[in-house]
Structure 1
Amino acid sequence: MEKLNQSPLGRKQSRDQHPRLWSLLLIGFVCISILSATFALYRYISDNEHRHQVSIANAKLSEVISTLEQFNQSGEKQLTWLSAQLSRYPNLEERLWLSFSSDLMKLFPRFKKASWLDQSGNIIWASGNALYSSNKLHSIASKLSSIAIWPGYTLSKNNEQISITMMMESKRENVLLGYLTVEYSLTSLLSEFENTLLTDSQVLVTKIDTPDDPVESGNIFSYRTVGFGKETVKLGIIQTVPPYPSLTSPQMLVFVAGIAAATIVSIILYNLEISLINKRELKDKVGALTTEINEISDRENYLQFIALYDPKTLLPNRYSLQQYLVKALAVEKELVLSCIEITNLNEIKDMFGKHISEQLLESIVKRFRAVVPKNAMLARVESSQFMTSVAGMCQLEAEMQASQLKVCLEEEIHIDENLIIANCVIGIACRYDQSTTSGELQGFAETAVHQARKLGSGGIVTYNQVMQEDLQQLRIVEQSLRKAINQDNLDIQFQPQIDMKTFHLTGIEARVCWTSHQGNIIEAQKINAVAEETGLMRNLGEWIIDRALSEYSYMLDKRSAPSTISVNLSGRQFHNGLLADHLLQTIRRYDVPAARVQVTLDEQTLLEHVQDNLDVLYRLRLTGLTIIIDNFGMGYSSLTCLKQYPIDMIKIDKSLITDVENSEDNLVICQTMISMANILSLDVIAEGVESMQQHQILRNLGCLIGQGSYYFQEMDTESILNIIREQRTNQLYPRA
């Protein structure tokens, strides 16, 4: 879950929920397009509306002109009829005129004035609101001779009032009797037409002299020329248009609809973009979650794999082997379990490196598969241990297979131009009892391989009951030893180290001893072996260091301490530095000079974990301690140890000292070792000197220090103090 919180779900922050720039540009473009279309449609509707209003104004103007023409035509007919009536009276009297004009005004109320003119155009009789002015009469008289078609018309304007005078000649038998004129107000007539034919927003206007007078901006003006004989009048309609269209007008509806559409579309597109962002983020989260689930599934599969298989060799591990054995023991009567241990795998790893050791493992697994049957269960249970189990195989077949496997594994392996030989031991466990469990069978195989390891490299051991009894006895000893360590029931003894020339005691080697409950004294070698096998060596080593340095500190306080004290360190605890750290801490705690302390290490210990051992040894040397190789000459890499490690002294193994007086080979070996040590400026200690003859031979070869039963047996602290005191009183050394 920790990784999930850091993933693309947890460790990755979610995106900003803001639209992208191109999305905003797209939304703006769509809105501008809608508004542009709206304005274009608004303009189109406004233009149509304008054209419609113009057509209405033209239609109304046509209607007004048509009505006016009808009125004129009706007036012309009336005037023709009246002139015909008056032609019957050659001499028109006033009484007759008054009666005639009175009837005329009643019949034609739009006629405001009527008059009778003689042949010269002089007014004889007149009626109406007022008489014609002299100017007007003169105008009428001047036009009588120019009229070709009757009736004739005359226009006059007085105080914004336009009047129309209609003239008709009166003849009798082609004899001109005079002229009949009638006048009506064109302005009043048009006002009547305006009230009856036009709407409130339409106004009739007449333009006689200036037809192009400016019209108020925004209004519609339509005009035509109306003829009255030879006279003309510009008659027009002004259509008043409001400065702003009403809210219910089509263009305003289109405008509002366009604004609303642009707003709605922009909101929809914005929400769509947000939705797409959310979907994309959700998709990313789902993808990240899917990836995380796959990773978790892969991790679970990997964990399940490493729980059942060894990751380096891909072989089943101990748990898988346990499951297999449980199932196999339930159905099989005969079952064999073999434990194969590569004894020098750690040395190969230290010598050639991790890469070579891993390739070696791959080659070993291939050789395993080439020998074991296909139905066999092959598992890697520890770093250097493999187990193979075959159902239905007897003990003899298992031993034959183990022999083939040993031969196959110990053949030379070439890896990166390196020649490597793997050594192995094999332990075989067979199912003898139906009640044997899988855990017990594995324990039997491990006991057998443990016994094979004791016998040496290349051993093959089949488990038997005696091994189990030995193992049980080892467990009993382990429990007793653990209890003795915890309760401080062990004791420390010192093996004196003697100067072979002066027989003076120059140093001591600390050794543990233990008296069991039965009163038996158990030697240090057996105690160390039990501790190594049971994992108690670290506890035992720390106890020995504490007790030895405590006793040596006591000797220093008594001013009767030997020059040096030697402490053996276990190989299994040495390479990790824990035991060395404890040694240095103990030296400081008891205030023991580091130059007086010697560290003894087995040769085999130095060949394991080379780099780690080098680091620890150099740390000890820098502190001032002396490094001694124990059992020198018993391994195959003694010279390698002298070359690689900071060694100060070597201790010749007692197996080479034994019978040195009778064995020429042992004598040559000892001579060679001592000479080589002298050349390398190394001191030599001869261990296990048991006779004067051995003492003399080794002293003559150049060995300076010896220890063994010839000089002294192991002794306690007080005995060491007494020897030192005797040396100081210049007494002869015992056995001198």
Structure 2
Amino acid sequence: MIFIALVCFAVLVATFLLYQAAQSQQAQRIEKLLNVEVQALSRAVERDIDTQLTRLSALASNIELDVPSTFSTWQALVQQTQQDSAYISSLFWADSRRVISWQTHADTSHDQPRFSFDVVGEPEGQLKTDQPDLTQWRIAYPIYSRDRAEPSYYLGAIINLDALINEVASDYLNQHQHLTITRWANDTVLRGDTISPFAAVGSAPLRLTSTQSAMQLTLWQEPGASQFISLPIMIYIAGMLVALLLGITLYLAEVNLMSRRAAQTTIDYLKNEIEQRKDVEQQLHFIANHDALTYLPNRHALTRYIQQRVHESSTYPHDLALICVDIDNIKEINDLYGQAVHDQLLVELAQRLQRVRQTDDYIAKISDDQFAIAGSELSPLKAEIYAKQIRKTIEQPFFHHAEEIIVTCAVGISYRYDASMPAQELLRHADTAAHRARQLSHHRVVVFQMAMRDHLHQKKDTEYAIRKAIQGNELSLHFQPQIDLNDHSIAGIEALVRWQDTEGAVISPDTIVRTAEDTGLMRQLGTWVVNEALETYATLLAQHCAPPFIAINISGHEFQDSFLADTILHAIERHQVPPERVQIELTEQVFIENLSQNQHTLHTLAAAGVSLAIDDFGTGYSSLAYLKHFPVDTVKIDRSFVADLPHCKDDIVICQAVIKMAQLLKLKVVAEGVEREDQRDFLLDLGCRYAQGHLYHPSMNIHQLTALLTQSQPITRLFN
């Protein structure tokens, strides 16, 4: 009992340490997110400020050509600018001494005011950022007369920075977040509440002009604003439960161990010398026909049992069913927990099968990760129900020192179709069905069919032929144009790999890519596609009929190569293709495998000018987090969402959401699989500008593409 108490106390201490670590990591993640958000807010404010200054700069440039001589003339010139901006509260005109001569919305009954203002273009440090009121930021552009080095006049504006920042911040802040603005030089608070001592904080500089950072934006979140059911709380609760279950398990193990010791003592006492020889003979026979770990019959014993059953019931060919249970992750458990846990788990699985077995069933362990059950008088329906019950029993959690281990399995069923079927063939059929079940998502119970064997032979032949085609350069590229729906011009082309077998059948790109991935030829295939596509595009550039860009698909397996970015950039340089006219289409597998390396690769390509697109967006693992952390500028709506437009409500909602999200993130949207005019019209109404599909052009070889581009040369020449 003392040992159990010590173990539970150790678990509680570990839980507390994990709880503290999780809380710290959660705070760090919140601060990182706040830093990203406040930097985006700062850039948005700076863009709006630049917009106001651009209007003032344009007006100053016009006035510099013809300096007004009267207030009415000046007022007429600046009236339109003031009407166009909601943040410019007043405009003023100052002479070379910076004395205000004219000012809109000013009290003309008093002397003209003289106040300080910032001048765009002055050296760093001369901006008068000591102005305390954010609603009265005064900024002016100098106006020069001919042959004068010093400004003759100043055209300025009083900008309501507070209103501008409020307008931009409303799109970024939630109810738990607050914005505080301080002066960059002395941390004087200009706007907002005092930051809470325990709040998560993110900061970013705010440049009023391009010369210096005048202010600092601080975005902070109220303490305790995160969700109540968070990871630290879940760790704490889980730790309590684990400590409780561990104590109960150890206590039961103690009782069970004592019971087994008592039983073993009784058995040893009853043994005698007369039975020793008989025991030795039986043990030898048992070892030859049983698994040494689980004591279940082995493959040899199962084969002999089936042969015996076939011989006894040769007149009833359908009275025997064989169920093969294929354990999925038994080797992983051995690697993670060791051989002892591996063996203990197999023993437990064997006992579970014994508990669910029917009276006449024959259970065997035919390999390290496979069990087999031979059942008599089982109809196909009963066999499937029985197999599902077996699968459910196998996948019950297994506990080792209060740690839960989950085992999954695939189940295959085979029947004796005729009386002459040998036992080895029945076993092979069951194993084939189990292998097929393992290939399916969410493992199911699969019944063997002769088509499975034919499919395996066909798959083997296809893999061999495609491997030979890749190694022998028998592949070719086809191209499908992307269309601008506004003017029906060709906005780009996508390169698609094609291969035609010896019988004339065209093998789909998905089959080629999947086979290349399975056989380890993906890198060789990807390098060939990149070079072939760029070489073709360079030829189109030389002929002055190239579309704006060429899109090249990159498989997720290719990102396992850490030199992928260098390979693509070297190919672009070798073929002398501008990087900004190359687009790489990514599968969503890139976002979940080796995230840091893939992110570095994509940022390297984006920095070189290569554009990036997500292919088949929404069908896999896409999320807003990926769009934020990866430099993606194009999303392609999968054809499965376009096929039933505009009749399927679910597809309408999905397309609307993707297009709206892309517009807000300033991403380009391309709809795939557009084959009808009503689909095109509906997508255009939703705001999707680009499409790809048979409504306009199917995929075509280089000769057909060149003829098409030559016909549309007046449009595509604009991009050359």
TM-score under structure 2 normalisation? Answer: 0.46
TM-score under structure 1 normalisation? Answer: 0.46
